[in-house]
């Protein structure tokens, strides 16, 4: 898999979408709430919650909002009950798409997603229809600024990383999902600037599109990501 394509896929999810602060906060609050509901409100014992809180702080979310979201998840405060669902589908030209959704209304969410896929010449698939195209991995993005590639590489491997790639001003480190936080914490303790650390679905093959199909696929991905219920979005669209 080309390193550029992998980074482009990650960058698409993390890039210029969701510029409105309210939309960013809505998605983060959902993630904090469901993380606390699934595994408790202690971030030291709940890696997913710890990551969500870190994301909230990096987006300047007030601490009282973070605390309320945690308490709603643990049931200490009344709040909306969110459900986590993964949808699979196809975009233009057969591009594989996976969507991790957090919603308080499953019927609304699936209707919205089905409509958007159809609008851009795609369709909603059955469970398992595209998941085989993706591998579940931990993905750590480290700034390469002032860091020697060989030293970071050795540190990552020693901590348990499986793969290491360089792209522009970042290092992309892959781990087994269960080792993500261990490797992340080890690198952070050595002073490296961790840009992100997440469990991702990484494509094991890519779909190349040209012309209008490529434009349509990119428009679809941007539109899906703009949906407030879509928490994470993955595709095997080749951005090269």
**Do 162 and 142 belong together in one domain?**
yes
The per-residue pLDDT for 59 is 82
Would residue 21 count as lying in a domain? yes
The per-residue pLDDT for 15 is 47
In the predicted structure, residue 1 carries a pLDDT above the cut 80: no
List pLDDT tens digits, range 86-128.
999 999 999 999 999 999 999 999 999 999 999 999 999 999 9
What does the chain come to in residues? 240
Average pLDDT, the chain: 87
Residue 21: pLDDT band (50, 70, 90) is: low
**Per-residue buried b or exposed e for 57-93, using 16+ beta carbons within 10 Å of the residue's own CB:** eeeebeeeebebbbbbbeeeeebeebeeeebbbbbbb
Specify the number of domains making up the chain. Answer: 3
The per-residue pLDDT for 17 is 45
Q: Which helix (H) or strand (E) holds 166?
A: strand 163-167
The per-residue pLDDT for 88 is 98
Residue 88 has phi, psi (to 5 degrees) of -125, 145
List pLDDT tens digits, range 22-79.
678 888 999 999 999 999 999 989 988 998 998 888 888 999 999 999 999 999 998 8
Question: Please, which residues have CB within 8 angstroms of residue 167's CB and are 6 or more apart in sequence?
Answer: 3, 4, 7
**Do 44 and 162 belong together in one domain?**
no
The per-residue pLDDT for 4 is 35
Would residue 240 count as lying in a domain? no
**Do 210 and 126 belong together in one domain?**
yes
Task: Classify burial at 145, counting beta carbons within 10 Å of its beta carbon; exposed 0-12, middle 13-18, buried 19 or more.
Answer: exposed
**Do 120 and 146 belong together in one domain?**
no
Is the pLDDT higher at 179 or at 17?
179
CATH code of the domain containing 174: 3.30.70.980
**Do 29 and 45 belong together in one domain?**
yes
The per-residue pLDDT for 130 is 96
The per-residue pLDDT for 6 is 47
Is the pLDDT higher at 149 or at 135?
135
Residue 13 has phi, psi (to 5 degrees) of -70, -30
List pLDDT tens digits, range 207-221.
999 999 999 999 999
Q: In whole angstroms, how far apart are CA 149 and each of 29, 137, 181, 189, 192?
A: 36, 21, 21, 17, 12
CA angle 90, 31, 162 (to 5 degrees): 70
Quick one: tokens of 190? 């050595």
**Do 198 and 164 belong together in one domain?**
yes
In the predicted structure, residue 7 carries a pLDDT above the cut 70: no
The span from the CA of 141 to the CA of 145, in Å, is 12
Domain interval for residue 218: 85-132+205-235
**Do 94 and 182 belong together in one domain?**
no
- Which residue carries 């360089």 as its tokens? 166
Question: Please, which residues have CB within 8 angstroms of residue 19's CB and are 6 or more apart in sequence?
Answer: none
Would residue 29 count as lying in a domain? yes
DSSP letter string, 123-157: EE--TTSSGGGEEEEEEEEEE-TT--HHHHHHHHH
List pLDDT tens digits, range 181-201.
899 999 989 988 888 888 899
233: β partners = 99
What percent of the chain is predicted at pLDDT more than 90?
62
What is the rounded average pLDDT of the residues 144-170? 87
**3-class SS letters over 81-106:** CCEEEEEEEECHHHCEEEEEEEECCH
């Amino acid at each position: 898999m080309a390193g550029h394509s992998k980074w482009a896929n990650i960058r698409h999810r993390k890039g210029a979408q969701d510029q409105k602060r309210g939309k960013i906060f809505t998605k983060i609050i959902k993630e904090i709430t469901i993380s606390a509901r699934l595994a408790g409100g202690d971030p030291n014992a709940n890696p997913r919650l710890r990551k969500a809180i870190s994301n909230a702080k990096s987006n300047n979310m007030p601490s009282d909002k973070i605390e309320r979201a945690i308490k709603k998840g643990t049931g200490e405060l009344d709040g909306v009950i969110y459900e986590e669902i993964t949808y699979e589908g196809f975009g233009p030209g057969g591009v594989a798409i996976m969507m991790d959704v957090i919603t308080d209304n499953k019927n609304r969410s699936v209707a919205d997603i089905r409509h958007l896929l159809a609008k851009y010449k795609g369709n909603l698939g059955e469970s398992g229809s595209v998941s085989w195209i993706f591998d579940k991995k931990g993905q750590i993005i480290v700034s390469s600024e002032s860091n020697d590639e060989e030293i970071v590489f050795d540190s990552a491997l020693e901590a348990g990383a499986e793969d290491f790639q360089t792209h522009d001003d970042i290092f992309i480190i892959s781990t087994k999902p269960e080792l993500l936080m261990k490797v992340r914490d080890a690198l952070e303790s050595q002073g490296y600037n961790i840009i992100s650390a997440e469990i991702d679905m990484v494509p094991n093959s890519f779909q190349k599109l040209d012309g209008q199909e490529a434009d349509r696929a990119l428009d679809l991905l941007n539109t899906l990501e703009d949906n407030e219920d879509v928490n994470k979005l993955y595709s095997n669209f080749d951005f090269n």
